[in-house]
Amino acid sequence: MFFKKKQKHYEPFDLERPLLSFAKNDAWTIRDACEGTQIFGATGSGKTSGSGQAIAKSFLNGGFGGLILTAKKDERETWEKYCREAGCLDALFIISPKSGYKFNFLDYELNRAGDGAGHTENLVSLFFTILEIAEQKSGGSSDPYWERATKQLLRNTIDLLSIAQGRISMMDMYKVITTAPLDYEDVQDTEWAKHSFCYQLIKQAKQKNLSHSKKMDLDFTIRFWLNEFPNLSDRTRSIIVSSFTSMADCFLRGVLRDMFCTETNIFPEFTHEGGIILIDLPIKEYGQLGLFAQVLFKYIWQQAAERREVHKNPRPVFLWVDESQNFITSYDQQFQTTARSSRACTVYLTQNLPNYITALAGGGEARAKVDAFLGNLQTKIFHANGDHKTNTWASDLIAKTWQYRSNVSSGSSNDGKTFFPETTGKQSGISHSEALNYQVLPHKFTQLRKGGYKNNLLVDGIIFQGGRIWNTTGKNYLYTSFKQG
């Protein structure tokens, strides 16, 4: 790893400012970081301690703010060490059950600054992102019908609550959905009406003095709850209802309720001022609870990053997601398309390509989503890997070139002693051929050093960056090494 000496004066957040150098004449700048990074490598190949560590430290030394999601238990300690070394331990906010940091996400979404605050569609997208990840993990499909039906359920729940009561809580959403009519008999049953929270809200909303447009919203909402919802097939209804209730259940008790549904003393916007937020609810320890909380916070953080005015505050912010296959959602791709202008530097680390495809429930559509997402992470670093799909994908990405080959042929007699039977009878000489070959063969990725003492703490990587020809090699890829420590 070469750290280039500063030769030129740069403003702290100048996009051309080098963060680190992958080779003597090949700096990696803030601009490059803003275009996103994907690190691939098998377990133990040196993703975290090699390229990950070098990039993480460059962000901290550069004064970036950031959000760190955690899958493994030791990630908190690793980042505490990085921050201590970079002299920014004071800026590290650790969200954990013991730290006392709380974030009431619904309160935040309803009351935050910005024109979109409290809009039904924004809340629908927020809940849908959590439901999407829950569905992925339970092996369900993200089929478009499920998506439409789930969004419709969320939209009508939120609208009913906001029109009738002017406030929304997780508990009330849960109550609306679980007391909605299941068939037409319910709708006509006065006993059901008396005990249904859903019906009581409809009654309350009807008595309100509403604007014309709110009245239209209410008419649609009532039609949904009293006609469409009971008319859904039992199977569809039970799938969408149980996706919601099992997710809501997590937020209605224990750690998630305390941390995400009570008060707020930490904001995603802290990172815009240089704060580094680490959510210490690693999936390995907290399972689904850790996943829901982190995907929720990530989504809200991404939106806050998109909203900020970078011309007033040009400080880059980073999103760090190790074991990223756990956290990927369809919103990531959307976010990544504008991340550069928000100066949001995403770094995703995962073992291999199939991890992402499986996370997005497999199939052709998942593959297309993964390709689109990876296409928007411009810097790709490949460490040692035995996964054939990833290695071939990497070789394809780096592409093939016409390679010129000379063959020396020998033997011209028919004496039967020639070593090359196919040349028998031909004139000896040199022939030239051109073939389209991989610049980096897939098996090369199996031979990279993985760090550790036997490799002098060196981790090899092959770097590709969309549209870049590296000065050192004159090619579109670069071999480099990272020092662990």
Ligand X SMILES: Nc1ncnc2c1ncn2[C@@H]1O[C@H](COP(=O)(O)OP(=O)(O)OP(=O)(O)O)[C@@H](O)[C@H]1O
If you write DSSP's letter for every residue of 38-84 in order, what string do you get? EEE--TTSSIIIIIIHHHHHHHHHTT-EEEEE-SSTTHHHHHHHHHH
If contact means CB under 5 to 8 A according to the sort of partner, which of Mg ion, ligand X, none does residue 485 touch?
A: ligand X
For residues 292 to 331, the per-residue mask of contacts with ligand X, x marking binding by CB under 6 A and - elsewhere, is: ----------------------------------------
Out of 38, 48, 70, 150, the only residue in the binding site for Mg ion (CB under 5 A) is: 48
The phi-psi region of residue 474 (left if phi > 0; otherwise alpha if psi is between -120 and 50; otherwise beta) is left
Residue choice 38, 45, 346, 352 for contact with ligand X (CB under 6 A): 45
In whole angstroms, give the CA distance from residue 479 to residue 156.
Answer: 54
Residue 421 touches which of Mg ion, ligand X, none (CB < 5 to 8 A by kind)? Answer: none
Interface with ligand X in residues 348-367 (CB under 6 A): 351
What is the CB neighbour count within 10 angstroms for residue 88?
18
Residue 364, binding choice from ligand X, Mg ion, none, Cβ under 5 to 8 Å by partner class:
none
Listed residue (227, 292, 226) closest to 254, CA to CA: 292
d(CA 71, CA 87): 25
Place of tokens 């569609």: 121
Is residue 51 within the footprint of Mg ion (CB under 5 A)? no
Interface positions, 25-44, toward ligand X (CB under 6 A): 41, 43-44
Sign of CA dihedral 291, 296, 298, 299: positive
For ligand X, which is the closer residue by CB, 47 or 369? 47
Complex with ligand X: residue 48 or 481, whichever CB lies closer: 48
Stretch that binds Mg ion, among 45-53, 330-338, 418-426, 453-461 (CB under 5 A): 45-53
Interatomic CA distance for residues 282 and 74, integer angstroms:
9
Q: Single out the residue of 17, 47, 340, 444 in contact with ligand X (rule: CB under 6 A).
A: 47
Give the shortest CB-322-to-Mg ion separation in angstroms.
Answer: 6
Q: Minimal distance in Å, beta carbon 1 to ligand X?
A: 14
Q: Which two tokens stand for residue 457?
A: 């703490």
Hey, which residues between 425 and 454 contact ligand X (CB under 6 A)? 450-453
Tell me the C-alpha distance between 39 and 42, whole Å. Answer: 10
Cβ proximity to Mg ion: between 47 and 380 the closer is 47
Smallest gap from residue 128 Cβ to ligand X (A): 30
| Residue 397 CB, nearest approach to Mg ion (Å) | 22
Segment lying near Mg ion (by CB under 5 A), choices 40-48, 206-214, 260-268, 392-400: 40-48
**Which of Mg ion, ligand X, none does residue 45 bind (CB under 5 to 8 Å by kind)?**
ligand X
State which residue, 375 or 386, has the beta carbon closest to ligand X. Answer: 386
State in angstroms the smallest separation of the CB of 81 from ligand X. Answer: 10
Q: Using an 8 Å Cβ cutoff, are 383 and 461 in contact?
A: yes
Site string for ligand X, 454-473 (x = CB under 6 A): ---x----------------
Strand 458-465, strand 379-382: pairing: antiparallel
Q: Which does 44 bind (CB under 5 to 8 A by kind): ligand X, Mg ion, none?
A: ligand X
Using a 10 angstrom Cβ sphere, with 0-12 exposed, 13-18 middle and 19 or more buried, the burial of residue 161 is buried
Give CB contacts under 8 A, 24+ apart, made by 308-315.
Answer: 308/269, 308/272, 308/342, 310/341, 310/342, 310/343, 313/272, 313/273, 314/13, 314/343, 315/13, 315/63, 315/64, 315/65, 315/272, 315/273, 315/274, 315/343
Stretch that binds ligand X, among 47-55, 60-68, 83-91, 388-396 (CB under 6 A): 47-55
CB of 456 to ligand X, least distance (A): 10
Task: Give the residue, chosen from 21, 37, 38, 48, that forms a contact with ligand X under the rule CB under 6 A.
Answer: 48
Nearer to ligand X, 269 or 322 (CB): 322
Secondary structure class of 96 (helix, strand, coil):
coil
Nearer to ligand X, 302 or 325 (CB): 325
Cα–Cα distance for residue pair 365/369, rounded to 1 Å = 6
Report the DSSP pairing between strands 344-350 and 317-322: parallel
Of residues 72 and 214, the one with the C-beta less far from ligand X: 72
Binding residues for ligand X, rule: CB under 6 A, are 41, 43-50, 351, 450-453, 457, 484-485
The binding site for Mg ion (CB under 5 A) comprises 47-48
